[in-house]
Amino acid sequence: MSDVVVSRSGWFSIISTTATAVVVGFASTILLIMQAAQAVGATPSQQASWAAALCFGQAITTLYLSWTHRMPIITAWSTPGAALIATSASGISYENALGAFVVAGLLMCLTALIKPLARAIAQIPAPIAAAMLAGVLLKYSLGVPAAALSMPLFVLPLIIVFFGLRLSFALFAVPVVVVLGVAMAAFAGSFSSDCCVVGITRLEWTTPEFDGATILSLGVPLFLVTMASQNLPGFAVLRASGYEPPVTSCLLTTGFASMVAAPFGSHSINLAAITASLVTGPDTHEDPAKRWLVAWPYAVLYVAVGLAAALFVQVLGSLPAALITTIAGLALFSPLMGSVVAMLKEARDIESALITFLVTASGVTIPLWLPVGGSQWVSFGNLGAAFLGLVAGLLLFGARHLMVSRK
């Protein structure tokens, strides 16, 4: 048990780097979680339950995986997944969305267990997956200029601070903007006297409903976006720090946790990437064999944050719409930039990636009609833009490569 014996200074570095990771991870994207929940009609109590379920799920899975494998395996919620829900789930009921979340978690488990499925997912070209993500994120960035015009005295200082901090303290740019935005809103009198009532958050069960169109338009893209933008980078972070991640165990654990937590609102629990990079290096502890201990303070802090989720929902929900749009758009600026670079990386795949990006960004939907007997057809909802963009890109990609192979 020598790997749990740590000096006082060692624990200080472990706790300090973990606290930084929690602040960066939570403050940077909590508003996206709220917008995703609002997009599917979640009530304030359901929004609080959503955030709390994610926090508790992260705490449990991080502690279990790190303890079991003795390496710093940090989990998080899917930020691109939240953006996907917020932009693609209009008209989808809360219950149907939860059903799609369950299916996304199930697909994660099946990917770990069924090798052909894992190979099929791996065959999706990276530029097309990146283009789908870029199309999802674009809406947020486009909202920032309009917000700046509607509330210039509030929004323009946030934009200046954000890009100023990105020059030297990029990790803290979004958390500082969140704190500054809340302070400015408080100074302007945006908060009511009872908006900061402190209470312990309660998880709220809602029975999921399974709708075919919602599963195709939301559940499948959520799974793909999470795999491409969270899990794969998360594995890469661990390998870059000298660890060999247990891929099957990670996918099974996070997929199962996602399924269990979905009825309480949680959309996806997966490997962390950016926040993981903060706690897997020598700044956490000079001995790689002891860095897994970050799981303890990480779990404790996220349990505390989860218990206070209702308070965060109350406070952040009272912000003016322009501030929420600005903070969300700035928080996704870096992921959008990375996705655009990735989708244009391979010259031969630019057309397919661009088609995926355009269809996804358009927000177009197509009704799903299926025969139910004889000549009768019934509508099963709409196929969303993210799914349609992925299909369009893959069809063009396949057609081009088929023509090239026949020459």
- Encode pLDDT of 292-337 as tens digits: 899 999 999 999 999 999 888 888 777 888 888 888 888 888 888 8
Please identify which residue in the block is written with the tokens 């996220």.
302
Q: Is the pLDDT of residue 40 over 90?
A: yes
Considering only residues 393 and 403, tell me which one the structure prediction assigns the higher pLDDT: 393
Q: Is the pLDDT of residue 186 over 80?
A: yes
Q: Is the pLDDT of residue 158 over 80?
A: yes
The pTM of the full predicted model, rounded to 2 decimals, is: 0.83
Kind plus residue range of the DSSP H or E element containing 256: helix 247-261
Average confidence (pLDDT) over 2-10: 60
- Please tell me the predicted confidence (pLDDT) of residue 198: 61
- Please tell me the predicted confidence (pLDDT) of residue 7: 64
- CB neighbours (10 Å) of residue 399? 11
Say how far apart CA 134 and CA 342 lie, in whole Å.
9
Q: Is the pLDDT of residue 5 over 80?
A: no
Q: Is the pLDDT of residue 171 over 80?
A: no
* Least trusted range by pLDDT, from 147-161, 247-261, 304-318: 304-318
Q: 43-94 pLDDT, tens per residue?
A: 989 999 999 999 999 999 999 999 999 999 999 999 889 988 988 887 899 9
| Cβ pair 300, 22 in contact under 8 A | no
- CB neighbours (10 Å) of residue 229? 28
Please identify which residue in the block is written with the tokens 């599963």.
215
Kind plus residue range of the DSSP H or E element containing 378: strand 376-383
- Spatial neighbors of 42 by CB under 8 A, at least 6 apart, are 50, 94, 265
- Please tell me the predicted confidence (pLDDT) of residue 4: 56
Say how far apart CA 385 and CA 393 lie, in whole Å.
12
